[in-house]
Amino acid sequence: MLLIQVNSINPLQLITAVFAARQTQPLYNDGLSGVIKQWGLSLSRQIILIMATLLILPSLAYTQGGGGASAGGGSSVGQTQSRRSSERFNILDFIRKQKEATSAQDSKYGRGGGSSSGPYTDFVLTYSQDSGPVTRNGDKLGKDTRASGRLQFLLDDLFTKGNRTRSLNIDLGVEGFYSQTTSFLVEPPSTQNSHTYNEMGAALLIRPIGRSSQDTGLLVKAGYMSMNQTGLWSNTQNSYSHYATYLGAEAKLYLLNFLGGRVEYQTTLESDINALQSTWKMQRFTYGGFLEIYLLNIGASLVSTEMILANKNTGAITKELYSGVSFSSMFHF
C-alpha cells in the first residue's frame, strides 16, 4: 500500500506521487480473479486521486496567492462576505431595532417592560406673562400687560392598541385656566379710561399624537369660557360678561432632548352679548420656542389676539387687536 504524508510535501509532489504509484504497481494476470483485483485497484487509485485533488486545490490557491491574508493584505472573499453581511437588510433586525427604540422611550418616561400598561397621570402647571400694544379699529389705545395660569391633567396611555409600539394611543384629560389684565398704560393721543378683561374656562383634552406632555405631540381641546371686561369695545367704565364655547389645539416639537418649538391656537364660536345687542368672537395664536431642564420648561413666545364685536342692528364691526411677547414656565409632574 502506498502511504503519503500530505503535511510533509508540496501539494504538487502529492499529485506526482499518485501518478507514479499508478504506473509502478504490478498487474494481476491470474485470470478472472486477477482482472477483478486489477479493476478494484484501479478504482481505488481513481478515488485516491480525486480526493487528493480536492484536498490540495485550496492549498494551491493559498500558495499561489502569496501566503493568504498575511501576504496579500487580507482575503478578498472574507472581506466581501463581511461587507455584504453588514449591508444586509432583514426584517427581524428591523423589528428588533424598532422595539429597542420604543423600549428606550418607555424607559425615558418610566414605562419599562415590567411595568403595567397604564394609564399614567400627567400634570402640567403653566404660568405666563405677556405685554404688548392694543389697537381698536386701527387706533392705538395703549400697552396691555397680562398674566395667565393654567393647569392640565391627563391620563397617558388611557386607550392603547398594539404591543407598546401602538398603532393607537390616545390620552384624555381636562384643563382649567385663568388670565387677567394686570396693567394698562394709555398712550397718547388715546383717551381710553380703562381697558381690562379677565378670562376663565375649562375644557376636555384629547392627545392623539404623543406619549406624554414631555413628548413631541398634538393636543386638541374643546370647552367653555367666560370673559368679564371693562372698556374693551368702547371708552366706558361699564363692565360686561361674555360667554362662549372655545376650541383649541397645541402642538409641540422637540428638536433636541432639551430644545424645541410649540404652537397653540384658540378660537371661540360666535356668541351673543344680549346687553350690547351684538355677537362676539375671538381667536388667539401663540408660537415660540422652549428650553426644557428635567421637569421644568421655560419658553418665549409671540402672542396675537383678535376680538370682533358685530352689532346685530347696525352691522357695525368693532375689531380689537393685541400683539405681545410672552414668557412662560411649565412644571411637569
Question: Could you list the pLDDT tens digit for every one of the 333 residues in the chain?
Answer: 444 444 444 555 555 555 555 555 454 455 555 555 565 566 666 666 666 665 555 555 444 444 444 444 456 767 765 765 565 556 667 777 767 766 665 555 444 444 456 688 999 999 999 999 999 999 999 999 999 999 999 998 887 765 544 556 789 999 999 999 999 999 888 989 889 999 999 999 999 988 889 999 999 999 999 999 999 999 988 999 999 999 999 999 999 989 999 999 999 999 999 999 999 999 999 999 999 998 999 999 999 999 999 999 999 999 999 999 999 999 998
Residue of 212, 210, 201, 217 lying closest to 284 (CA atoms) = 201
pTM over 0.75? The answer is no
Q: Residue 210 CA to chain centroid, in angstroms? A: 8
Q: Distances in Å between the alpha carbon of 111 and those of 102, 106, 245?
A: 10, 4, 36
Dihedrals φ, ψ of 105, to 5°? -70, -40
Write down the pLDDT at residue 120: 87
3-state secondary structure of 316: coil
The strand pair at 239-254 and 217-230 is best described as: antiparallel
> In Å, how far are 135, 136, 145, 238 from 140, measured between CA atoms?
4, 7, 15, 21
Which pLDDT belongs to residue 130? 97
Query: Which residue type sits at 164?
Result: R
Q: 21: helix, coil or strand? A: helix
Measured between alpha carbons, how far is residue 139 from residues 180, 247, 302, 322 in Å? 22, 29, 21, 12
Q: Provide the pLDDT for residue 100.
A: 74
CB 205 within 8 A of CB 219: yes
What would you report as the CA-atom Rg of the chain, rounded to the nearest whole angstrom? 42
Residue 228: predicted pLDDT? 95
* Amino acid, res. 14: L
- 279 half-sphere exposure, CB direction, 13 A CA radius: 9
- Contact (CB, 8 A) for 172 and 206: yes
In contact, 204 and 168? CB cutoff 8 Å: no
Bond prior to 133 in cis (omega within 30° of 0): no
C-alpha cell at 134: 392694543
